[in-house]
Amino acid sequence: MSKHTFDQYAITSTVSRIVEELGFKKPTPIQKQVLPAALRGESLIGQSHTGSGKTHAYLLPLFNQMDDEAEHVQFVITAPTRELAIQIQDEVKKAIQMAGKEEIWRSKLLIGGTDKQKMVGKLSSRPPHIVVGTPGRILDMVKEEAIDLYQAKAFVLDEADLMLDLGFIEEVDQILVRMDQDVQMLVFSATIPERLQPFLKKYLTNPTHIQIEDDKPSPETMEHRLVPLRHKDPADVIVDISKAIQPYLAIIFTNGKNHADELAGELMKRGLETGILHGGLSPRERKRMLKELQNLRYQYIVATDLASRGIDIQGVSHVINAQMPKEEEFYIHRVGRTARAGMQGTAINLYKESDLPLIQKLEKKGLTFEFYEVKNGEWKETNAYNERQNRERHASDLEKKAKKMVRKPKKVKPGYKKKMKQQTDKNMRKLKQSRFKKK
């Protein structure tokens, strides 16, 4: 008897074996909705946040369609970053091994930073069944005629909104015009920006649109703390925070690689063993950094949004926003790095007054923030950021009311302004007293 509930879908015994070996008991919400449509060969748009199980939502249907006899590329999976492509390829290879098909199914990773001519030679000798890679390098291989994608049955576009942000949609477009127009399109994205619509309309006709709505934009096990930056150096505040937390691994986010380099340098000067991960690193440096993270060399890593999106770094206990992001969605992606698979997680946000509009928007989405400072290596609760604002607003309202109560003389005499102010102050005292009595 099967140990999982995936057999309710029309999957082969080989795919059932993969599911069992992976230890999956029941499908995640995105898998539950994607699997039936994808197994029927429908094109679809799957919208869900990072960590929802979408990689296997498309991998399992692809393996289900695999033709052992066909000696051509059957599936193409594109990702916006090398790291994400490597991660997907690792899952593909793992599944092939679990299926016991190492001698039959071939998968090839096509990313930049590798010897292009050597890659051309390998591909020309024997085509892979599955191509995983970044759009630029896949397009290079197509133009070199090292691979032919026309007979591929399905095309996966992972992290489509990030693909758009990084300017790779044009390369994806050039790949798709060289493929069969009836190819099954599986598009996955955390958000569907308006700028992505022309591309989607061009390649998907009446697609199934699957959107997984979370009750809250982050896990129940996530705690969100706000720490005022005021005029302090972010590195000093983070060092103080480091004394109050014992992270298994903390990711510290900045807005841009220059800020990341600068902050990592400052933290190292202050004695924190700190790694760094952003788009400015060479492929070799990034590969080394990810390996060192897996080997638990660092307790802290400074990262940017683009380099970290979609990368599955195990054991992240804390996310620290050294700079608050510009948009709500980026906050959700950042904090999605922690509190995964039911684990606890903490997001610590260093904020300035200019960040308050973003915080208020996130509160409207259902997030609850707690207010803290770190003193002598210990957390200390502070007042909410808007408490002073509320006091000031209330004082302003009282003053307006008090001014209205002042009778203006018909003729302006010397000392007029002074008398007006005295009367206003007197009225304000009365109003405050009357409020106090009511309470």
Tell whether the model's pLDDT for residue 421 goes beyond 80. no
pLDDT given at position 304: 87
Q: DSSP class of residue 347?
A: E
Q: How many CB atoms lie within 10 A of CB 338?
A: 28
Distance CA 141, CA 174 (A): 12
Least confident of 259-263, 299-303, 329-333, 363-367: 329-333
Reported as a pLDDT band with limits 50, 70 and 90, residue 427 is: low
pLDDT given at position 269: 94
Q: How buried is residue 59: exposed, middle or buried, by Cβ count under 10 Å (0-12/13-18/19+)?
A: buried
In 3D space, the residue among 316, 325, 295 whose CA is nearest the CA of residue 251 turns out to be: 316
Mean pLDDT of 102-126: 85
Tell whether the model's pLDDT for residue 412 goes beyond 60. no
pLDDT given at position 216: 47
Type and span of the H or E element at 171: helix 169-176
pLDDT in tens, 22-53: 888 889 889 999 999 999 999 999 987 666 78
Check for a shared fold between 6-211 and 222-381: yes
Reported as a pLDDT band with limits 50, 70 and 90, residue 234 is: very high
Read off the tokens for 212.
Answer: 């997984």
pLDDT given at position 391: 47
Reported as a pLDDT band with limits 50, 70 and 90, residue 402 is: low
pLDDT given at position 198: 92
pLDDT given at position 409: 57
Distance CA 288, CA 8 (A): 42
Boundaries of every domain in the chain:
6-211, 222-381, 393-438
pLDDT given at position 378: 86
In the chain, how long is the greatest CA-to-CA distance? 103
Reported as a pLDDT band with limits 50, 70 and 90, residue 121 is: confident
In 3D space, the residue among 360, 368, 372, 253 whose CA is nearest the CA of residue 316 turns out to be: 253
pLDDT given at position 399: 62
**Contact yes or no for 120/141 (Cβ under 8 A):** yes
Read off the tokens for 255.
Answer: 């807005």
Distance CA 219, CA 341 (A): 10
Reported as a pLDDT band with limits 50, 70 and 90, residue 1 is: very low
* SS3 category, 251: strand
Q: Residue 24 to residues 10, 33, 56: CA-CA distances in angstroms?
A: 16, 16, 10
Domain boundaries 222-381, corresponding CATH code: 3.40.50.300
In 3D space, the residue among 200, 158, 191 whose CA is nearest the CA of residue 56 turns out to be: 158
Distance CA 278, CA 293 (A): 14
pLDDT given at position 174: 95
Mean pLDDT of 351-368: 89
pLDDT given at position 396: 60
In one letter, which amino acid is 424?
T
Read off the tokens for 434.
Answer: 């009357």
**Contact yes or no for 302/275 (Cβ under 8 A):** yes
pLDDT in tens, 272-325: 989 998 877 877 887 788 888 878 889 999 998 866 565 667 778 899 999 998
Least confident of 273-287, 327-341, 368-382: 327-341
Q: How far apart are the first and last CA of the chain?
A: 68
In 3D space, the residue among 140, 136, 137 whose CA is nearest the CA of residue 110 turns out to be: 137
Tracing tokens 């691994």 back to the chain, one arrives at 249
Distance CA 349, CA 224 (A): 8
Reported as a pLDDT band with limits 50, 70 and 90, residue 348 is: very high
pLDDT given at position 124: 77
CA 219 distance to own-chain centroid: 13
Please give the backbone phi and psi of residue 409, each rounded to the nearest 5 degrees, phi first. -70, 150
Reported as a pLDDT band with limits 50, 70 and 90, residue 338 is: confident
Distance CA 45, CA 34 (A): 9
pLDDT in tens, 153-193: 999 999 898 888 778 899 999 999 999 999 999 999 877 88
- In the CATH hierarchy, which fold is given to the domain comprising 6-211? Rossmann fold (3.40.50)
Q: Residue 122 to residues 68, 151, 172, 187, 328: CA-CA distances in angstroms?
A: 20, 19, 23, 29, 44
Mean pLDDT of 381-401: 60
pLDDT in tens, 236-275: 999 999 999 888 889 999 998 899 999 999 999 999 989 9
**Mean pLDDT over each residue of the chain, to the nearest integer:** 83
